[in-house]
């Protein structure tokens, strides 16, 4: 109840003003917090190293600090539906109208937690794939409050969640039944992919699921412009048009790479816990090593 009351109070501040305040905090953090500045520089070096954006490192790192502040502000306010242009809306509606499953492919880019509202607004129920930590027993710390915020947001949208552990056969069955699955593309895996100008070890579940379930892949992203968030939908990737999952995977990587390089500052740190961690550098993102087993 306290969390819902806090959301309502935050929602009283106009979004335009809240966004401007967040941007100001981000600029101040860049100037006054050297540890945040160094972290942002390392993050952006890992993302744009080896790409045409590498020369913009310091500018992008500063923007990354600002984007982090605006992300947090949006996360802790009431979640509003993102705006969507006519082309993206038509692509989304056309894909959902077909008698086939749809795999929504996204990255941790911008306020991505808002994009699922589009599916609920069209009267459909999406299934989002989440990590096991999503089901942890809540406590009283900041992490527990963050989990509560996630659950509150998805419950309002009627969204369903599937644990990523052992999820492949479940997701394949859902797609075969014509359901909608929401899956992150930028996750560590066993397939070395040329991505963001460097070798990146990526999971291939999206492409394999689409091939086996004969489901369309619909790339989607969140993009911030001032106080407004837009959802962009790319042209669908039909597995029938590709020779195999490898070819489909590379085509999907190219879509997400193009989007990320447009606004690399809005991508979450690939070196965060649960992602590539310290194995993500400007030279490549290696698959992180599992922690040693307890003796």
Annotated domain spans of the chain = 2-75, 86-269
Widest Cα–Cα separation across the chain: 58
Is residue 91 within 8 Å of 220, Cβ to Cβ?
Answer: no
Q: What is the CA radius of gyration of the chain?
A: 19
101 with 175: CB under 8 angstroms? yes
Q: CA dist 285 to 188, 260, 276, Å?
A: 8, 15, 7
The pLDDT tens digits for 38-65 are 999 999 999 999 999 999 999 999 999 9
- Whether 290 has a pLDDT exceeding 90, the answer reads no
Closest by CA position to 180, among listed 89, 95, 110, 88: 95
> Is pLDDT of 4 > 80?
no
User: Which of 10-24, 154-168, 259-273 is most confident?
Assistant: 259-273
- Residue 289 class from Cβ within 10 Å (0-12 exposed, 13-18 middle, 19+ buried)? exposed
d(CA 246, CA 130) in angstroms, rounded, equals 24
Taking the C-alpha atoms of residue 204 and residue 211, their distance in angstroms, rounded to an integer, is 11
Instruction: Indicate whether this model's pTM tops 0.85.
Output: yes
Tell me what the pLDDT averaged over the chain comes to. 93
Strand partners, 252: none
- CB of 216 within 8 A of CB of 238? yes
Tell me how crowded residue 281 is: count the other CB atoms within 10 A of its CB: 16
Pairing of strands 228-233, 198-202: unpaired
Residue 1 binned pLDDT confidence (cut-offs 50, 70, 90): very low
Q: Do the bridges between strand 188-195 and strand 280-281 make them parallel or antiparallel, or are there none, so unpaired?
A: unpaired
């Amino acid at each position: 109840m306290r969390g819902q009351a806090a959301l309502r109070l935050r929602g009283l501040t106009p979004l335009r003003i809240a966004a401007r305040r967040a941007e100001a905090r981000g600029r101040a953090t860049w100037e006054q917090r050297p540890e945040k500045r160094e972290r942002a520089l390392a993050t952006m070096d890992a993302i744009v190293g080896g790409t045409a954006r590498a020369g913009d490192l310091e500018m992008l790192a500063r923007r990354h600090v600002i984007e982090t502040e605006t992300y947090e502000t949006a996360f802790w306010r009431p979640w509003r539906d993102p705006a969507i242009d006519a082309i993206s809306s038509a692509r989304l509606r056309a894909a959902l109208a077909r008698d086939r499953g749809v795999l929504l492919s996204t990255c941790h880019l911008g306020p991505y937690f808002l994009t699922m509202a589009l599916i609920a607004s069209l009267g459909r129920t999406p299934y989002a794939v989440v990590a096991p930590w999503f089901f942890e027993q809540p406590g009283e710390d900041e992490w527990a409050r963050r989990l509560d915020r996630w659950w509150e947001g998805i419950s309002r949208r009627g969204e369903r969640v599937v644990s990523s552990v052992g999820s492949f056969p479940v997701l394949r069955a859902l797609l075969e039944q014509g359901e909608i699955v929401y899956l992150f593309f930028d996750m560590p895996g066993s397939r070395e992919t040329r991505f963001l100008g460097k070798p990146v070890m990526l999971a291939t579940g999206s492409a394999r699921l689409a091939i086996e379930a004969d489901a369309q892949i619909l790339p989607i992203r969140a993009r911030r412009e001032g106080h407004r968030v837009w959802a962009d939908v790319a042209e669908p990737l039909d597995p029938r048009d590709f020779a195999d999952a490898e070819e489909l995977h590379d085509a999907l990587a190219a879509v997400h790479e193009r989007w990320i390089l447009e606004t690399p500052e809005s991508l979450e740190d690939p070196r965060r816990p649960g992602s590539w961690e310290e194995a993500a550098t400007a030279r490549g993102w290696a698959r992180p090593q599992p922690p040693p087993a307890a003796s």
